[in-house]
Amino acid sequence: MRIVCWFSCGVTSAVATKIALEVYGKDNLVIAYCDTGSEHPDNERFLSDCEAWFDHPITTLKNPKYNDIWDVYEKTKYIAGINGARCSLEMKKRVRQNFEDLDEDVQIFGFDCDETKRAIKFKKNNPEVTLSTPLIAGGISKSDCIQVLYDVGIALPIMYKLGYKNNNCIGCPKGAKGYWNKIRVDFPNEFQRMAGMEHKLGATLNIMNIKGKRIRVLLSDLPIDAGNYKSELPIQCGLLCE
């Protein structure tokens, strides 16, 4: 049996990994990180801090076909749709599938105690995966995980400090209007790059209700006051997006 902890540079996956190490020990345990090439540079620091805390190496995995999420969009001519984001499919899900051994692996995911429905949905959609969710089993929330990291002296990733709800790539295509207006302020280059990608591929990520009609709106035309990021649902990405 191999224990595979999926570390995402998020706070919940970090604490779930630490618990798995305490429960299973280090023998036959692998901590795996899927590199998208598009996360905040501070994630390298966070990964290094967590690796020292775990006292166990983190294995970095990457799809050799793509440099980053922008490379995915360029080569596949697709950004996101009703089935999820193409970047997550290529840079995370397929990487996981190529690495996992369904006959041997117990896979640790960082679902927290408020994400029981998501865990059930994942298990339903992926019945072949032997899933373990230590945060749900222990009744541990995301805020609890933040406190754990604070207590051990590990600074949160910069994206959390900037007010983002998740530590996703900069400029996640699943973000809503308020999210993109926040990206416009915090990361104007990524905002403009995604706006350009929409035009290039004929894609539109956002929808607005205008006079009772749902209308697709390009980022280049998105009003600066559209949306409210604080009230928008967290963007679900990672190994579960597709």
Domains held by the chain: number: 1
Output the domain CATH number for residue 83.
3.40.50.620
Q: Is residue 171 part of a domain?
A: no
Q: Is residue 66 part of a domain?
A: yes
Q: How confident is the model at residue 210 (pLDDT cuts 50, 70, 90)?
A: confident
Q: Is residue 87 part of a domain?
A: yes
pTM for this prediction: 0.93
CB 106 within 8 A of CB 133: no
How confident is the model at residue 242, as a pLDDT? Answer: 44
Range of the domain at 69: 2-158
Question: Rounded CA gap, 44 and 41, in Å?
Answer: 6
Question: Rounded CA gap, 73 and 240, in Å?
Answer: 19
> Which amino acid does the sequence have at 66?
Y
The whole-number average pLDDT for the span 92-109 is 95
Give the angle 115-143-4 at the CA atoms, nearest 5°: 55
The whole-number average pLDDT for the span 66-89 is 94
pLDDT tens for 2-52 read 999 999 999 999 999 999 999 999 999 999 999 999 999 999 999 999 999
Question: Rounded CA gap, 118 and 69, in Å?
Answer: 24
Q: Is residue 230 part of a domain?
A: no
The whole-number average pLDDT for the span 126-130 is 94
How confident is the model at residue 234, as a pLDDT? Answer: 75
pLDDT tens for 211-239 read 889 999 999 999 999 999 999 877 766 55
Q: Is residue 226 part of a domain?
A: no
Q: Is residue 140 part of a domain?
A: yes
Q: Could you write out the three-class secondary structure of 65-130? A: CCCCHHHHHHHHCCCEECCEEHHHHHHHHHHHHHHCCCCCEEEECCCCCCCHHHHHHHHHHCCCCC
Name every residue whose Cβ is closer than 8 Å to that of residue 195 and which is 6 or more positions away in sequence: 218, 219, 220
Q: Is residue 95 part of a domain?
A: yes
Q: Is residue 121 part of a domain?
A: yes
